[in-house]
Structure 1
Amino acid sequence: MANDSMQKIKLGLFVTGGIVLFVAILFFLGMTDIFTNKATVQTCFSESVQGLTVGSAVKYRGVPIGSVTKISIRVPDKLVQVDMAVELRHFVSAGNHGQQRSDFRNFFRSELEQGMRCRLEYAGITGMRYIDFDYYATPGETLPEPPVGIPDAGALYIPAVPSPFRDILKAIGTSLDRISRIRFEEISDGLERSLSELSGLLSDPALKSTIARINEASENLELGSRTISRVFSEERLNRLMGLLEEDLEKVNRLTEQLISETRDAKIPESTSAFREASNAITFSQDELANTLTKLNQTLDALTELADSLSADPSSVVSGKKKPQLRLEKMDR
């Protein structure tokens, strides 16, 4: 009996000691966390934070600097508010705790002006997410106004930007919506009709004859090109091109010479002289016409005189006799 009592006492003391040691460890860890120098950072997301939980990591350019301490829903604007605890020991500073906190706030404010924002990222393929601080905005870009009631006293507000996965899902959703609006049945019916018409067209004898003629023409063209290639070698073509260039050069020189001679010919003066000569020729033609008329009259007179002399040579001495026709009429 005594041995059983001693064993029970030892077992009780062991269990009690273990409980005390466990409570002490929890107390020590809690006190250590309490005395850790931290800064509170807040942000708000307008997208789903699926995969983000209390205790999720907070990173600055991939370096773990803290964790998520609280996730809450803002009823007025339906935003998801996330509170984070950032450990200042990850940021090197030569001052005391108060100086470290001040340096941290100044550092983050200057980084915000350089485009630093926070964004949700996936931690591998597990679906778990964390918050990453990085330069997602353009340096010098105007900071968006924080929602009403943020930040809390002593907290620092970091604006959030949409995650790339959200943009991908949005693009996929838009694409699927557009695809769903496509009338595949009408396209299928139209394609079937087109294929049927194409089949009928291809089976048309006229088309086959046309294709045969095109093939024959292409063969003739190829044969002609081969013949030209055999007749006109590269050397001969170069020689022909050289002769053509020489002829063109001669034509250019002749053109320049004609232009020069045309300029030296004094065309306006020559035109005026031609006009005067034309007027003189016209006047001479009139005079010549009058002269020819008079000459014709003279020839007529000479012809009449010749006829008279031929009929009566003595008329040169006695003069021209008067006609007897009138006297005969009187005798009758």
Structure 2
Amino acid sequence: MATPKQKFKVSIFLLFCIGIMVGGTLVVTGIYQTPGLRYWLEFEESILGLYEGGMVEYLGVPVGKVQEIHVTPNQLAHVEIMINPKKVTLHDGVQGKLVIYSIAAGTMAISLSGGNPENEPLPEFSLIPCKTSVIEAFSSQLTTILEDLSSTLKDVSVIGEKVRIQVEGLEDTTVQDIMNGVRNIVNKGDAFVSNTDTLVEETTEAVRDFRGHANTLVETISERSQDLERLFKKLESLAETYTSRGEELKVDELQQNLNKLLEQMDSTVANMETIAGDMMHKAGNVEYTLRGTLTDLGDSLESVRILVNQLKDDPSALIRGRGRIQE
């Protein structure tokens, strides 16, 4: 049997071992515990692929980890994160969203962005607003597109079934009438395109004519300005001659030069009036052609509207031709 002294030594040894284990546990826990500030987010979308311990990044830089994930009573995905303040300081205005971390593993991460550096740092335990991720936006749009496509296919299927039922009792002449009607619509469309091309060509030609007349007007004004400048030089020369020699100023010669200048200015004004008349004529031609084209367009659209209303009221008319709709 062990003596009391041996029992005491064993007890001391056991207490010492327990103390070492507790101390080691506390040390290890303190070393591996991630220091930082805690924040939380709530997502309305699915966060499948996000896990506790997942990465949190700010502008592509890892700054923290996901600490806890659970579902709130309001059916929202509650995510708590730990941010290392040595790597980033969050400010008011920061937002978070889900991003793909690994396509192969199917894991997600939280991406933070935004925030005004001039504001105070975001307090710990604050809510970080979330914005819709690219994946969620794409999924919702794709779902809407698929629903619209499915509805369209159903409508086409119904119309096709109605057409198939009506085809069984048709004659060859009815189909030929329908084809003739379609050709008439196509011909009207071709005529509209042709009229539009003609309008564009005439408009282009009118613009070219306008540019030509404008250039002529500018050249004429420039020539008259040069004549006026030469006349002013003559006047200055006569004035200098009168001052230096005391001779009489040649009033008759000056009057003749002024009369010539006035005649040239009258000619310039007449040329400008002619150019303005040509411009108004070209503008009238363009307006007339445009009205004719719009009239043809209205007739074509009216034909299309009548055809659409008829097919809307009676889809079988696509095969049988236009007929009276029974009440």
When normalised by structure 2's length, the TM-score is 0.39
Instruction: Using CA pairs under 8 Å that are at least 6 residues apart, name the structure with larger relative contact order, 1 or 2.
Output: 2
When normalised by structure 1's length, the TM-score is 0.39
